[in-house]
Amino acid sequence: MKKGYFGDFGGQFIPELLMPPLIELEEAMKTILPSEEFQTRFTNMLKENVGRPSAITYCPNLSKDLGLDLWLKREDLNHSGAHKINNTLGQGLLAKMMGKEVLLAETGAGMHGVATTVAAAMLGMKAVIYMGATDVVRQAPNVGRMRLMGADIIAVESGTKTLKDAINAALRRWIADQETTHYCFGTAAGPHPFPTLVREFQQIISKEARAQFMERNGGDLPDVVVACVGGGSNAIGMFHHFIPDESVKIVGVEAAGTGEPGCYSSAPIDHGTEGVLHGMKTKLLQTPDGQIEPSHSVAPGLDYPGVGPEHAHLDAIGRVDYTVINDAQAINAFKVLSRREGIIPALESSHAVAYAIENREQLQGKSVLVCLSGRGDKDLGILDQIL
């Protein structure tokens, strides 16, 4: 296997100027990451600052409604409200031990920005957050949280003014400031070693969930494991320890956008073709001549025209089924879970919950374990506009 590849996908498609910090990061992954000092400090931070292990929750009301056993892995209960903090604390601590002073990040929904800012504040570092100008408006509560905790927020006015444009701007900043700065990439995508590094910090989700589910179910594994897929970090975290379990069906849910034929979506695995973006070879939403198309999802954190290379590989080998849920189905799931179980899910996570609701006929009598990747209070403004 070629270094930094998952089958045919991955690699390092980057300007020469970015090679030094990536090589430095790879070295740190070999030396600092496995060290007892790092592992001890990181484990303690996950326990004392994040609140891990996060619970798994059985949903009795919705299970009865749907005719299946619905379980949630509650990443929404983590400090800062999503799975993102597993990664930002890991990368932040690694950067601190590498001697860096600044954590640079891109953010779409704002959750990764918030989690990076939390990590920076905890570790005595500076946070610089790039965010598409559209998302600054859409996710105002998270912008307020980041500013309160001391982050510099830079609104990106280029392109579609969303996540991909924020990543472009953050990468340019990293080239200029690599001596003092670590780019805390937010999802399991980008150039090697980021997809591997982010998976390393997110695999705790499935490590816990698999053991928790078996403990609650007499040693049985779930029939189906589900997560939403944007860039794909909550999903790769949720899938990793279930991949060897052949009896477990694994489902990744992409965003279909509004859902009508020809609409803009955020479903590169289902609708896209192979190409290169943000330093990796993966599946992309692009025109026949390779221009990146605008993406759309009601969930800002899924609004991305690419996907992490390991997901493209898991699709290619047929281990994970990737499917789509549209905006209206996700909004319905958002409301249903809130009303039936008193849990308000992020619009991103609502796509995964919607899979169980929309496919209940095929899932009758089965146990379905969904990664609830984040909480939904950040999305109430979007819901108010739509409803």
Active-site annotation, residues: 59, 83
DSSP 351: H
DSSP 375: B
**What's the sign of the alpha-carbon dihedral 334, 339, 345, 350?**
negative
Cα separation, 4 vs 309, in Å, equals 10
The 152-156 sheet, strands edge to edge: 152-156, 126-132, 102-107, 181-183
| β-sheet bridge partners, residue 280 | 277
Cα separation, 260 vs 257, in Å, equals 8
How long is the chain? 387
Cα separation, 237 vs 300, in Å, equals 20
**Based on the number of CB atoms within 10 Å of its own CB, is 169 exposed (0-12), middle (13-18) or buried (19 or more)?**
buried
Residue written as tokens 């494991």? 225
Amino acid at 202: Q
3-state helix, strand, coil in the chain (%, to 5): 45, 20, 35
**Based on the number of CB atoms within 10 Å of its own CB, is 305 exposed (0-12), middle (13-18) or buried (19 or more)?**
buried
H helices of the chain, where? 19-31, 36-45, 60-66, 84-97, 111-123, 133-138, 140-148, 163-177, 194-202, 204-216, 233-239, 268-271, 309-316, 327-341, 347-358, 380-386
Which whole-number Å values give the CA distances from 265 to 110, 284, 326, in the listed order?
Answer: 20, 11, 9
Contact in structure between 265 and 294 (CB atoms under 8 Å): no
